[in-house]
Amino acid sequence: MKKFYGKIDIQFASTFLYFNKKGMVQELIHNLKYKGHQEIGTVLGSWYVEDLKELQFENPFDAVIPVPLHKRKFKERGYNQVTTFGKAIASGFGIPFEENILIRKIYSKTQSKKNLLGRSENIENIFDVEFTEADYNKHFLIVDDVLTTGATIEACSLALSKIPGVKISMICMAMAH
């Protein structure tokens, strides 16, 4: 994807749906994220993984990693909105779902109301990784809900790049224009 050219080394990047304000996809993701309808993530992930399998990747993924929530945000919401989506993708590929490698160090308010500059400035050092030698040389698939500026995926990738030999790919439920 053009959003990442020259910024981070992404092996593969894709989104499933197109996000329009006041559209059906916004309604689906809003219900998943704020109204507890986690089954939406499972359904979208199950549909999407079938499309992804048809691409017959040269570099298969070793594990799926969700963009993490800060502990405080997790406590407020009660769940990470990308967990069920990521678990469906991992299950479809027959690979592990790893939610303890990538961590969010800094609590931040929602990105959805911020402009491009606000998202980019705010996101840079909020992620870190906890890894072992067993994670070296793995190909991780990061999953998120909506791709806007790419700042979140970029920050996650920079954190994951601390792992020797790591390869990173990403998918999102939807992409905003």
pLDDT in tens, 94-145: 999 999 999 999 887 665 555 555 545 556 688 999 999 999 999 999 999 9
Structure tokens at 40: 């939406």
Looking at residue 125, its pLDDT comes to: 82
Pick the more confident residue, 167 or 6. Answer: 167
- Taking the C-alpha atoms of residue 8 and residue 16, their distance in angstroms, rounded to an integer, is 21
C-alpha distances (whole Å) from 157 to each of 31, 52, 115 are 27, 21, 21
- Taking the C-alpha atoms of residue 140 and residue 97, their distance in angstroms, rounded to an integer, is 10
pTM value is 0.88
